[in-house]
Chain A
């Protein structure tokens, strides 16, 4: 007897209907495969970010936390979709049919975003396989070198995993613009030339390594740390590789969720829902896009912004018609263009308007004593605070300033201070991990209370030093700069 799960059959039909609707409305997702999974699997994938990813206790911790929150009814993951071709999406077993319909519509919009947004262009579309291969390699290293050693090494790499550079494809301008002098081609009359003419004095380059500050800490260490074994370099490349894959998702959280919420609402309104289903849908949609007093809900802000853009390009003001030549009725076209070329930073900077900030009632708050209080409602300041919080994916911008500091191959990192201080306690604890990777003394320069501070770890203890002016790395190099 061939048993057909009635729920599965119903969902299959719904999936096809939703797919057809999405296509007819202009979305162009990757082929998408839905898998119905129990909660334990849903939370595992949520914790690991991608199925089959390598084992590490931090993943176990994340899994435990998500799982506990689910078990106590505090939070629920409704949807999970993997940027992959085909896209894989997971539906939670036991969700109502309507919940899963909403999830499917939402997921297809995400997949469309993955496929078309320019920041995803270079992501590995076979990452599900890639992550499994990476996991196999790490398992092999565990077998060869011992679990404890691999874990301790992974700890060190993961501690600085955010510090990579997704823009390596953009060629860098060199600061002094000097080109290496070409070697002279020997000629027949060389004996007539003086020695100085024969060997023009090459302008001495400052002995700097790296020549320009390097943002990609992981790559720099993998390529330049002296004492690393092959497997250790490989582990760095694995982590960096996966981080590069995840970065665009961190870079487009508001847009991506906004886009998906915008579309799930429109697709579901086109489905033939019963009255009960429609009420259920309205409730669900409202809970997804509910504002939060102390956070920015990306689903809500993102959706509102797309709707606002569509409205403004559909019905431009007289001024917009004359100054920008907007014809009106171009709303849909415009939002498709926005989803293709922007990321969260440019999206907020370009499309979060004064009216929208007021309509959404956004504000800046801070802790005052035991209370969180609104301190600012000026729309430009709000916009700029949002942009600042998303710059470099919310992480401090840290570069390798000098990898031969004190002519002793010590690693000198610099925090590009832009007004927000580092968590010094954390920085002190992170340095030993960097030391483990680099193998020699490591420093980080930052600013505390408007004074330059250098924190150093030499393999035994952490020390602080306040310095008055000028990066010491430059002072070092100026000696050789004649």
Chain B
């Protein structure tokens, strides 16, 4: 009889076409995310995440455009369970879009949520950013300060036998050999030993002095922007330094050191005396963070609505002092709109001619990314 029907089962484990093209799609998604970073990084979901989990960011669906019908203006046919009549509700939302071979399986939106870890996002974000004015501080890295048991070998000292793993290996081998997943007849090859690696400690540290204006004029938006900025700044510095300490200072007419939670939540009232925060920052540096061994990054966010010209002058003086000990001093002014004119404080700061002083204005969420770029561009190298 001629060949009619047959059946086979082959090994497909080396077949990789789908995953390879899937990876290319994922790469394109990443490119799309990168092109849209300024809108993505100030998403609330990211800023409020614990920093390690996967966040979902909305990006425009990567779809090849085509000539297609406007599905909102198209009637579609459905099917009921009998006796359907006009006016019956058959579903919620927009009708599914029929398309080509797969009729109606796509929702009518052009955005989809791409999953990305904050870490990956940080990689994209900081790819070409560097630390401005990084200096080699006194205590560099100290090697061999200790050892850590964090590796497994097949040979070792009996005292370091990893019993749990050894038992597992034995069960695995038995299961493979005679389909009996039980623990018996331990052989040499089952043994696993814990072993150590030297623990390298890098001792380059940085401290961020985060200052925030909590006077009555700073609203929810200003708080949010500040938070978003510090979130990324701290992540960035942690990539570069072993240990990043953050000092939180809030101020209205008086400054005080607070904890992180208070720093981001606090909304107070009253006037503004910016100099109070700078004074406190200088005091803290003097007491706790010797510029000889610390990289210091003071940043201040305010709406620039300061007490008066007298205090503005004092601020300029203090900023000059801060610059002399800090790697960079950043001032971010949050404005109500792009068209607002700079505050008196900003005007006063504009007289400072030092590459270590950086100022930005932020009027909307999307400005956070350019601000970060401005702060973390290694411009001293370029200037030198």
Contacts and interface: CB of A to CB of B under 8 A. Distances in A.
Interface of A: 5, 8, 11-12, 15-16, 18-19, 31-38, 40-41, 43-44, 47-49, 52, 55-61, 63-64, 67, 86, 93, 155, 158-160, 162-163, 246, 249-250, 253, 291-298, 300-301, 360-367, 370-377, 382, 385-386, 389, 393-396, 398, 415, 420-424, 426-427, 429-430, 433, 444
27 contacts: A12-B7, A35-B8, A37-B12, A38-B12, A40-B15, A60-B24, A61-B62, A64-B25, A86-B3, A155-B64, A294-B78, A294-B104, A296-B103, A364-B76, A365-B77, A367-B72, A367-B95, A373-B88, A374-B87, A374-B88, A394-B100, A421-B70, A422-B68, A423-B68, A424-B70, A426-B65, A426-B66
Name the residue in B20, B88, B95, B104 with the highest tally of chain A Cβ atoms < 10 Å from its Cβ: B88
Given A36-B8, A420-B74, A292 B79 contact: yes
Contacts of B10: 35
B18 interface: yes
Given A57-B24, A360-B79, 7 more contacts: A36-B8, A44-B17, A55-B17, A292-B78, A296-B79, A373-B89, A377-B86
Given A57-B28, A364-B75, A366-B95, A19 B82 contact: no
A34 B5 contact: yes
A163 B68 CA distance: 11
Given A60-B23, A293-B80, A376 B4 contact: no
Nearest to B88: A374
Contacts of A372: 78, 89-93, 95
A296 B89 contact: no
A429 B60 CA distance: 13
Contacts of B4: 19, 31-32
Given A361-B81, A370-B92, A395-B67, A63 B9 contact: no
Contacts of B148: none
B96 interface: yes
B21 interface: yes
Nearest to B69: A420
B83 interface: yes
Contact of A361 (B65, B82, B92, B101): B82
Nearest to A44: B18
Interface size class of B (residues with CB under 8 A): 35 or more
A407 B15 CA distance: 52
Nearest to B2: A31
A371 B98 contact: no
Name the residue in B24, B65, B90, B93 with the highest tally of chain A Cβ atoms < 10 Å from its Cβ: B65
B22 interface: yes
A31 B5 contact: yes
Contact of B22 (A11, A63, A159): A63
A293 B70 contact: no
B70 to A, nearest CB: 4
Given A32-B5, A295-B96, A365-B90, A56 B21 contact: yes
Contacts of B104: 294-295
A48 B73 CA distance: 30
B84 A367 contact: no
A293 B77 CA distance: 9
Interface of B: 2-10, 12, 15, 17-26, 28, 62, 64-96, 98-101, 103-104
B84 A15 contact: no
B65 A422 contact: no
Nearest to A373: B89
A444 B65 CA distance: 15
Nearest to A298: B103
B64 A58 contact: yes
A158 B21 CA distance: 16
Contact of A294 (B12, B22, B95): B95
B77 A364 contact: yes
A415 B79 CA distance: 31
A294 B9 contact: no
B227 to A, nearest CB: 33
B59 to A, nearest CB: 13
B276 to A, nearest CB: 53
Contact of A63 (B21, B72, B78): B21
B66 A367 contact: no
B5 A64 contact: no
B78 to A, nearest CB: 5
Contacts of A297: 79
